[in-house]
Amino acid sequence: MDVEKVAALLILLAIPYFYGLIGLEILYAKWKGRKVYRLNDSITDINMGILDRTLDIFAKVAVIGAYILCYESFHFLEIGLNSPVAWIVAFVLVDFCFYWSHRMCHTINFLWACHVVHHSSEEMNLTVALRQSATESLFTWTFYLPLAFIGFPWPMWVICYQINLLYQFWVHTQMVGKLGPVEWIMNTPSHHRVHHGADEKYIDKNHAGVFIIWDRMFGTFQEEEEDPTYGIVTPLRSWNPVWGHLHYWVRLFNLSRSAKRLKEKVLVWVKSPPWLPEGVEPTPPERTVRYPAYQKFDIPIGKGLTAYTFLQFLSLMGLVSALMFTEQTLPFGEKLFAAAMILWALLSVGGLLERKRWALISEFFRVPAMILFLSAGTIRMGLVSSATIPMGVAFFLTVGLLFFGWAISLRREFSEPLLDPSSIEVTEAENLAK
């Protein structure tokens, strides 16, 4: 079996599957008169996923290599890739391992620091499924090692895991109600809405990937009873995907530094998220969802800046797609440089959504750099003939100058004071609670 071809086919199938369902959800929600999408939040969801996919290009070699090393060192059974029964058993066991890795990601602080990325959106829609952590797989692959020791070859693990993740995409929606007897066995949108709820009764429930039976068996099942409040207890309040990945690590570092005893400095990293060292108060104040005044994080931006940011986001999507489909042939140095350009674009788009002045300044350097990079890449890949190179360079330069001028014209938006509704949440909520 050519695993690389199968994996590439899954990616090709996933792209229309993802964006087709997202489009249908948007249309269906509009028809029903419901607003379940916000452009800034959905862009951030996808940007988180872009960061994950970009770093995965480098990390997956080490992760799969470690699995192969364990498999070749010792395994009980010789399981062939041609057995349908073996594939079915592997799929069920992969889901079982996923349940435990997912549950531990909610139980152990340093794993939650990775997984919190996925839960930090205050919406629940199909783009949230793309909001994946770039660091989680660096740790959670260890939960699948029993499969290696049993004797399941790495292609079986990788393909079953990818299919598992593809299944989980559709359960991130508010537009599908309960599904009758299906709810007894399978993970469904209703079950997964509970999992994303920040309400006390819903926290750390329904960790299933495909089969909800694991939650029923191990005491973590919770029925959806009222509409959840989505997000995390301490809201992220940022559209920056890099900060979205780092913020909880910073919290753990500060807690560890504040602990008085060495034992507690270590325990901070392996205890559950609510745990605090002796004498340490939670900071910042934790959100309590009973507050009716709570408003979702949002920074209003004008139509011009919205259009500019969206176009930069689309160009970023194009760059990531090109990298994903050429990663097998690109030299390591070129992949690394492309990843750096993607990271720069992610930071800029997040900053533009927050109307950060540094993001506007960054654009004055990033846009020319991106034009040069795309021009060099086009020539390097032989997509243009030598006769058309000057024309191609002129085209890219013209586009770059247009974007450059557009960015300058938007500078007034960055001088106006920001007004984030969520910034008044604590004060109003406390007044209402009195």
pLDDT for position 431: 34
Give the model's confidence band at 280: pLDDT under 50 very low, under 70 low, under 90 confident, else very high: confident
Which is more confidently placed, 310 or 413?
Answer: 310
Average pLDDT of the residues in 310-318: 90
Asked, for residue 249, whether it belongs to a domain, the answer is no
Lowest mean pLDDT among 36-45, 227-236, 363-372: 363-372
Q: What pLDDT was estimated at residue 400?
A: 60
Domain count, the chain: 2
**Which stretch, 296-300, 393-397, 413-417, has highest mean pLDDT?**
296-300
pLDDT in tens, 242-278: 999 999 999 999 999 999 999 999 999 999 999 988 8
d(CA 181, CA 322): 43
Q: Is the pLDDT of residue 380 over 70?
A: no
Chosen domain end from 197, 218, 239: 218
Give the mean pLDDT of 197-206.
94
Name the maximum alpha-carbon separation found in the chain: 75
Please report the pLDDT score of residue 318 as a whole number. Answer: 85
Range of weakest confidence among 7-11, 57-61, 149-153, 417-421: 417-421
pLDDT for the residue numbered 426: 41
Is residue 181 within 8 A of residue 227, CB to CB? The reply is no
Q: What is the distance of C-alpha 269 from the center of its chain?
A: 22
Q: What is the mean pLDDT of residues 176-186?
A: 97
Q: Does residue 238 fall inside a structural domain?
A: no
| Torsional sign, CA 276, 140, 174, 227 | negative
Residue 433 pLDDT > 60: no
Q: Is 188 left (phi over 0), alpha (psi -120 to 50) or beta?
A: beta
Residue 16 lies in a domain: yes
Q: How confident is the model at residue 401 (pLDDT cuts 50, 70, 90)?
A: low
Cβ(207)–Cβ(220) below 8 Å? yes
Query: Of 212, 213, 217, 164, whose CA–CA distance to 192 is shortest?
Result: 212
- Whether the pLDDT of residue 425 is over 50: the answer is no
pTM for the predicted model, two decimal places: 0.88
Task: Give the residue-averaged pLDDT of 282-297.
Answer: 60
Is 213 found in the same domain as 307? no
Q: Which domain holds residue 20?
A: 3-218
Pairwise CA distance, residues 176 & 170, whole Å:
9
What the block records as the tokens of 40 is 């800034």
Residues 313 and 166 in one domain: no
Domain boundary pick from 173, 192, 218: 218
**Residue 191 sits in the same domain as residue 317:** no
Cis geometry, peptide bond prior to residue 235 (ω within 30 degrees of 0) = no
Least Cα distance to 233 among 200, 194, 271 occurs for 200
Residues 13 and 146 in one domain: yes
**What is the average per-residue pLDDT within 194-202?**
95
Split at pLDDT 50, 70, 90, the class of 20 is: very high
pLDDT confidence band for 368 (50 / 70 / 90)? confident
Residue 187 has pLDDT above 80, yes or no: yes
pLDDT top residue among 367 and 175: 175
Phi and psi at residue 224, to the nearest 5°: -75, 115
Domain boundary among 186, 202, 218: 218
- Min mean pLDDT across 124-138, 145-159, 278-292 is at 278-292
Instruction: Give residue 2's pLDDT.
Output: 63
**Model confidence at 284, in pLDDT bands (50, 70, 90)?**
low
Q: Which tokens in the block code for residue 229?
A: 């409040």
Looking at the domain assignment, is residue 334 inside a domain? Answer: yes
- Judge whether 370 and 313 are in contact, CB under 8 Å: no
Q: How large a percentage of the chain has pLDDT more than 70?
A: 82
**What is the reported pLDDT for 5?**
64
> Looking at the predicted structure, is the pLDDT value of residue 418 above 60?
no
* Predicted local confidence at residue 95, as pLDDT: 98
Report yes or no on 248 lying in a domain: no
Q: Is the pLDDT of residue 287 over 60?
A: no
pLDDT beyond 90 at 326: no
Residues 210 and 329 in one domain: no
Q: Tell whether 204 and 327 lie within a shared domain.
A: no
Asked if pLDDT for residue 164 goes beyond 90, the answer is yes
Q: At how many degrees (to 10) do helices 332-353 and 303-326 cross?
A: 160
Q: Does residue 120 carry a pLDDT above 60? A: yes
Domain annotation covers residue 26: yes
Q: Is residue 256 part of a domain?
A: no
- Residue 35 and residue 160 in one domain: yes
Mean pLDDT of 202-226: 97
Q: Flag the least confident range among 179-193, 197-211, 289-303, 335-349.
A: 289-303
List the single range of 245-249, 339-343, 391-395 with lowest mean pLDDT.
391-395
Say if residues 134 and 51 touch (Cβ distance below 8 Å). yes
Residue 283 included in any domain: no
Residue 17 near residue 166, CB atoms below 8 Å = yes
As a whole number, the mean pLDDT across the chain is 86
In degrees and rounded to multiples of 5, residue 230 shows phi and psi of -85, 150
* Confidence class for position 419, pLDDT limits 50, 70, 90: low
Higher-pLDDT residue of 396 and 18 is 18
